[in-house]
Structure 1
């Protein structure tokens, strides 16, 4: 039942994440599912969980049964009956409840290991989303550069015409061409960055580094966001890990108390004797029930283990408190940066609209016979800056949203 609850929490997180992205990135959902199925890191921790679960069968056993056999090699000449051989069997039994305590301890360790599986999945989902948004950022910038280069080409045509009629100089044409070369250089750099990020994403999907990865061409900036509840941090596997480890220490101490008790041994011995006139009974052989007790008189080991377990629990409490403070700081930072991204996006949108109005005014002045191509380049550079800033803001918004989902979903 405990494991089932953990599975439900993991599935709910993934469903919540997909719900958050489904409006703009169906491809991302597919990549996340592919990564969860194929990523070797997930497969590794999953196998580790299976190993931890199998240990329950390992500890559900009794100590080895002892068999003893001895035979008289040389029989002395005596009138009294001599034994021929002796056989005995002895089984040691741990104190009542010890095996159950072992099972409980190993089960608690398996539960703690499964939290590692859930945590690894969360980290993988976050890593895939971040690489996806980085790839979107690069490709969106390439699209903007293409549009700006096309715009500069149209301005170059205007400048050439203006040069022919004496309304512009060849320097203006050269400036426009240099600006196009600069944009072409930036695009070439972005193409190389694209290959690197695509290879990184493919490695998370466990496929060839140069496999094609598609992203949506446009991501919209939402107007509002759901309220973030800091209490939801309690569901984060990074904190649940400490709860599971604390429980495992409690079970370890329960096992320690059981193992500090005595062990009981039960068995039977059989002695086969030679025939002798001294034996008047019809039963010359002997059968002896046996009982033994193993008492840990020198039990400093168990007392020391109890103290260590107490300190381990205190250590985990401090670690959990420190990690909770860290997660709260991370969540606060992510919310703040997401809000900053939205503010930046809409501020750049206003600036971009104004530069577009200025561009239309410049084009109209050409119709009246005058145009300043220095102003054209300035406006174009501002437009590109604002467009790039918008793309960066969108990427930052969704990256921070992915971090928030990682922390609280």
Structure 2
């Protein structure tokens, strides 16, 4: 298939951690521990067993009868009857049922694939959020330390009558605000660790590896809208639609006659006091039966029902595909905007630091302008926090695009 639109998504910032492939390890652990996926796996295995069930012939009928009163025949009285019979469905019915069961099992398998993708996405998003919180934690702590330095500097200036108590109090208020934010971020980290452990189906008190370093590197990958066609949610609907088509074939074949073969064996006792040819000879009677569906309205209704269900699945596929395409476009656009914002924040952070250096350099010959210094520090803090937020957006939307388009098998 020719791809008309090929998007090159280059996430310019992708983190590498000091502890190696920890995210991949967490993803494998989450899939292994998932009770939901395990439950669906059991359902899938049950569906595979259904193939053997529907492909088997009906039970063989065996019967034994004893005459309460002997039925007299020319060759002797009948004492007992043994019978065996086997119904055989119309040609191709069993194979059609087996194919239908296989398609339903395939739908179960696609459902498992979708759950794996969904779990992988949720773990990645939680992982990135935890990383983001720790980065905010580190940045806030650094700026608290900077304000500590400013406070000592302001107190020194106050002793030398080069500033007033207002500057000192202003610094203290800014520091108190950051301390409150620092405490809030610390609590959010603990809460996010609980969420992360629950996603991995582990005890909430289990220690989570918190990343402490980030290395910037350039990574590019291709993705296409057409790849959405391979999303397991759409594949599941395809299998269900095919199963309904096969069910319609089964319903048609069930409207055909069925054939039965049987054998009766009658035990005959000898007549006493008389000499006859074949005296007491047992009776063997082969039988053939045909079941004719004279009243087949239920089969016709069943076929119509299945046709309507196929139409419903077809419309559902359109809805789901449009939803996936909308999510794709939104994630792609958000990712591009986040990358541009990261570049802007890098420039702003650099310029804010340069401005602070100018003020500090002027301190050698002039009075320190603490108000302007605090304003620049607050700007630098907001730029750094915004960059961390943009990084989270970049990673998260890359994960969403992978969820939509990448085959994780």
On whether the aligned pair clears a TM of 0.5, the verdict is yes
Asked whether the equivalents of residues 71 and 86 of structure 1 are also in contact (C-alpha less than 8 Å), the reply is yes
Asked whether the equivalents of residues 81 and 278 of structure 1 are also in contact (C-alpha less than 8 Å), the reply is no
TM-score (norm 2): 0.90
Task: Give a deviation string over 1:144-203, Cα, whole Å, max 9, x none.
Answer: 001101111111111011011000112211221221111111011111111111111111
Say yes or no: does 1:251 pair with 2:252.
no
Aligned to 2:53: 58
Q: Quick one: distance in 2 between partners of 1:80 and 1:39?
A: 73
Q: Quick one: distance in 2 between partners of 1:77 and 1:338?
A: 94
Say yes or no: does 1:145 pair with 2:140.
yes
1:98-247 counterparts in 2 under 5 A? 98-219=93-214, 225-247=220-242
Say yes or no: does 1:348 pair with 2:345.
yes
Q: Quick one: distance in 2 between partners of 1:77 and 1:239?
A: 70
Asked whether the equivalents of residues 160 and 173 of structure 1 are also in contact (C-alpha less than 8 Å), the reply is yes
TM-score (norm 1): 0.90
- Which structure shows the higher helix fraction? 1
Q: Quick one: distance in 1 between partners of 2:337 and 2:219?
A: 13
Q: Quick one: distance in 2 between partners of 1:274 and 1:138?
A: 94
The one of 339, 357, 374 equivalent to 2:336 is 339
Gapped regions of structure 2 (runs ≥ 5):
1-12
Q: Quick one: distance in 1 between partners of 2:15 and 2:270?
A: 92
SS of 1:123's equivalent? helix
- Which structure shows the higher strand fraction? 2
Task: Give a deviation string over 1:280-310, Cα, whole Å, max 9, x none.
Answer: 3255221111111111111111111111222
Asked whether the equivalents of residues 265 and 292 of structure 1 are also in contact (C-alpha less than 8 Å), the reply is yes
Cα deviation, residue 407, structure 1: 0.5
1:268-279 counterparts in 2 under 5 A? 268-276=263-271, 277=274, 279=276
Q: Quick one: distance in 2 between partners of 1:48 and 1:77?
A: 58
Asked whether the equivalents of residues 221 and 342 of structure 1 are also in contact (C-alpha less than 8 Å), the reply is no
Asked whether the equivalents of residues 115 and 241 of structure 1 are also in contact (C-alpha less than 8 Å), the reply is yes
SS of 2:68's equivalent? coil
Asked whether the equivalents of residues 32 and 128 of structure 1 are also in contact (C-alpha less than 8 Å), the reply is yes
Task: Give a deviation string over 1:50-90, Cα, whole Å, max 9, x none.
Answer: 11111112223221222222222234899983211111111
The one of 253, 278, 281 equivalent to 1:281 is 278
The one of 394, 399, 403 equivalent to 1:397 is 394
Aligned to 1:266: 261
Cα deviation, residue 219, structure 1: 4.0
Aligned to 2:292: 295
RMSD of aligned alpha carbons: 2.1
SS of 2:265's equivalent? strand
SS of 1:89's equivalent? strand
